[in-house]
Chain A
Amino acid sequence: EVQLVESGGGLVQPGRSLKLSCAASGFTFSDYNMAWVRQAPKKGLEWVATISYDGSSTYYRDSVKGRFTISRDNAKSTLYLQMDSLRSEDTATYYCARHWGTYLDYWGQGVMVTVSS
């Protein structure tokens, strides 16, 4: 059974950093591109970043470029999102998701990030 379990969320002040993790199991992690998608409270879905299966390529939405870094450790089957210079508009539930081609076929349960003073 495919499982994606996010962790690392919480309350953080504007300008500070936070690192999210996503532990994957039930599939060969190193075979798949992975993504982070977020959802602000009562809002829709917003793609944040994607990393290729081997970590060689990364893609970001414009609003997080230069502030967020997606990475992975295939030996640990874990995906990461390092979030620096956080802003109030980054407040959201962050989902880890598995790419199936250009679709997202499995999603984690999500982790809440609140940016507030």
Chain B
Amino acid sequence: DIQMTQSPASLSASLEEIVTITCQASQNIGNWLAWYQQKPGKSPQLLIYGTTSLADGVPSRFSGSRSGTQYSLKISRLQVEDIGIYYCQQASSTPPTFGAGTKLELK
């Protein structure tokens, strides 16, 4: 199975701050990478797919990028509604595997 190593495990940031979360794939997955946001007490929601494409309704302050097998999610100006847990997921092969998650809190 492809392992997804996500960091950091938790992150505390201020409003309007730039936030970056990374995921390292254990092997080449091309651009088959998604990010999900899970707000407290809610189900996950697709945020980004294909490494860089925003899902419907996702604000433009979210962006995704890739360098080799390292993938990044960036929030350009943190808002209150962005608080939650973020997961990466490789969609290159079965089984689909998720990172362990990054808990994003307000400082």
Of the candidates B34, B91, B95, the one whose C-beta lies within 8 Å of that of A61 is B95
Residues of B within 8 A of A104 (CB): 34, 36, 44, 46, 89, 96
The tally of residues in A whose CB lies under 8 Å from a CB in B reads 20
**Considering the chains assembled together, what is the distance between the CA atoms of A50 and B95 in angstroms?**
9
| Set A46, A59, A103, A108: member contacting B34, Cβ < 8 A | A103
B5 at the interface (CB under 8 A from A): no
* Given A103-B34, A103-B49: A44 in contact with B101 (beta carbons within 8 A): yes
Query: Does A95 make an interface contact (CB < 8 A)?
Result: yes
- Please tell me if the beta carbons of A107 and B44 are within 8 angstroms of each other in the complex: yes
- Asked if A11 lies at the interface with its beta carbon under 8 angstroms from chain B, I say no
Q: Which residues of A contact B44 (CB under 8 A)?
A: 37, 45, 95, 104, 107
At the interface, yes or no: B62 with Cβ under 8 Å from chain A? Answer: no
Closest to B34 in A: A103
User: In the assembled complex, which residues on chain B have CB atoms less than 8 Å from the CB atom of A56?
Assistant: none
Scoring B residues 29 to 63 as 1 if CB is less than 8 Å from chain A, else 0, what string do you get? Answer: 00010101000001111100100000100000000
Interface membership of A105, Cβ < 8 A: yes
Contact check, A50 vs B43: say whether CB atoms are below 8 A apart. Answer: no
In A41-86, the 8 Å CB interface with B consists of 44-47, 50, 59, 61
Minimal beta-carbon separation of A64 from chain B (angstroms): 11
Q: B100 interface residue, CB < 8 Å from A?
A: yes
Give Cα distance in the complex from A1 to B89, angstroms. Answer: 25
- A-B contact list, 28 entries, CB within 8 Å: A37-B44, A44-B99, A44-B100, A45-B36, A45-B87, A45-B89, A46-B98, A47-B95, A47-B96, A50-B94, A59-B95, A101-B91, A102-B32, A102-B96, A103-B34, A103-B46, A103-B89, A103-B91, A104-B34, A104-B36, A104-B89, A104-B96, A105-B46, A105-B55, A107-B43, A107-B44, A107-B45, A108-B43
